[in-house]
Amino acid sequence: MMSVYPNPADSYVELALTENGDKTELKTPSSTHQVKIQKNKDYSLNSFDNISVQIIDVDGNTRKSTPMKNSKMKIDTRDLEEGNYFLHIKTEKNIYKQQLIIK
């Protein structure tokens, strides 16, 4: 499961990835949406080589981009203006999107 919090964010946004049986889920605490990600047999929480996180503004510009190096990460958002953004989690095969609000 992927948790994204706080949302709306002020100075940071935190991501946490945990395994849930044979699936990984992308979800936010403030949302009832869940995106179930079927894991392939090679997927492991110990392997983040091909996972990246991007924050995209409403004009489609990438404002931040960073590789996901472990199961938890904190992204500094103090340099982003207030407004709506999109958080993209990119794997080898998919892009998972979540709205992110900076206040």
pLDDT digits (tens, 9 = 90+) for 12-57: 999 887 665 444 444 444 443 344 444 443 344 456 668 899 999 9
Give the chain's domains with CATH numbers.
Answer: 2-102 (2.60.40)
Looking at residue 71, its pLDDT comes to: 80
Percent of the chain with pLDDT over 70: 67
| Average pLDDT score over the chain | 77
Distance of alpha carbon 101 from the chain centroid = 13
Specify whether the CB–CB gap between 80 and 100 falls below 8 A: no
Q: What was the pLDDT predicted at 38? A: 42
pTM for this model (two decimals) = 0.71
- Distance CA(67)–CA(51), nearest Å, equals 6
